[in-house]
């Protein structure tokens, strides 16, 4: 790998506190390697096992599952710096519940997880500490999503989501990190229905928004 990629990796949470020299040594000792993917190419298939976790270096990927009627449903958007397949790599008997594919030309750094447990150097320890932090964040993000989609109405789902994002931002006006298509996927709803409900909520004076910047003006804590 060239220095451009190493420098980019140092910006990602998984390698927080690593120096450039340490990261080079870590990649060499861990057996990590880069692989490129064309747009639409599958990285991990549903039902497949893997002993390697991935870090998206560049590009964009999506995690999808197939519904009972054969439709693809987006369950995760993967951006540069995101880690995927980590839980899968921790259990050699596990199989992937989703298919991960490249949405654009992408580069992935694969890291054999078992090698992280075999050594006792400080780099491995810091790597595992960073990884545990990422897994913890994923857990709470999953809990948040479950809380949102458990609401019985679309308005309830939107309300729960907006309140959650506002709490995290700590600001009256806050930016939603998802575009409309991604938010519809997150809330498991139709994009057109989501847009209509958001417009209705704005017309009723409950929220205000401009693109991805929102403000809650008169929305109760929870709508069932």
pLDDT at 49 over 80: yes
The answer to whether the beta carbons of residues 220 and 159 sit under 8 Å apart is: yes
Pair type for strands 33-37 and 106-112 = antiparallel
Extents of the domains making up the chain: 3-146, 151-216
pLDDT at 125: 87
CA distance 170 to 106: 34
CATH, domain range 3-146? 2.60.120.10
- The fold for domain 151-216 equals Arc Repressor Mutant, subunit A (1.10.10)
Query: Which of the residue ranges 140-149, 166-175, 215-224 would you say has the lowest mean pLDDT?
Result: 215-224
Q: In this structure, what are the phi and psi dihedrals at residue 67, rounded to the nearest 5 degrees? A: -75, 170
- The 10 Å Cβ neighbour count of residue 97 is 11
- Which pLDDT does position 146 carry in this prediction? 93
Please name the residue that has the structure tokens 């009723």. 204
Structure tokens at 30: 């861990």
At residue 74 the predicted structure's pLDDT band, cuts being 50, 70 and 90, is confident
63's tokens? 């995690």
Would you give the distance in Å from CA 24 to the centre of its chain? 26
Tokens of 189: 């709803």
Q: 99: which residues sit within 8 A by CB, 6+ positions away?
A: 42, 44, 45, 46, 63, 64, 65, 66
pLDDT tens per residue, range 196-205: 999 999 999 9
What is d(CA 210, CA 187) in angstroms, rounded to the nearest whole number?
A: 20
Tell me the pLDDT band of 68, cut-offs 50, 70 and 90.
low
């Amino acid at each position: 790998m060239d220095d451009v990629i190493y420098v980019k990796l140092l910006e990602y949470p998984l390698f927080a506190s690593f120096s450039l020299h340490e990261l080079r040594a870590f990649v060499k000792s861990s057996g990590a390697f880069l692989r490129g993917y064309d747009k639409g190419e599958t990285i991990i298939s549903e039902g497949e096992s893997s002993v390697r976790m991935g870090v998206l270096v560049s590009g964009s990927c999506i995690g999808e599952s197939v519904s009972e009627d054969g439709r693809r449903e987006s369950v995760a958007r993967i951006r540069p710096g995101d880690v995927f397949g980590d839980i899968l790599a921790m259990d050699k008997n596990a199989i992937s519940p989703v298919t991960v594919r490249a949405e654009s030309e992408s580069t992935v750094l694969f890291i054999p997880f078992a090698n992280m447990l075999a050594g006792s150097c400080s780099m491995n320890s810091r790597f595992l500490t960073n990884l545990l932090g990422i897994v913890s964040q994923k857990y709470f993000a999953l809990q948040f999503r479950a809380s949102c989609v458990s609401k019985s109405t679309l308005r309830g789902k939107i309300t729960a989501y907006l309140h959650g994002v506002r709490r995290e931002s700590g600001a009256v006006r806050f930016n939603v990190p998802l575009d409309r298509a991604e938010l519809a996927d997150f809330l498991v709803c139709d994009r057109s229905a989501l847009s209509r409900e958001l417009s209705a909520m704005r017309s009723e004076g409950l929220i205000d928004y401009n693109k991805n910047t929102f403000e809650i003006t008169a929305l109760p804590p929870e709508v069932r």
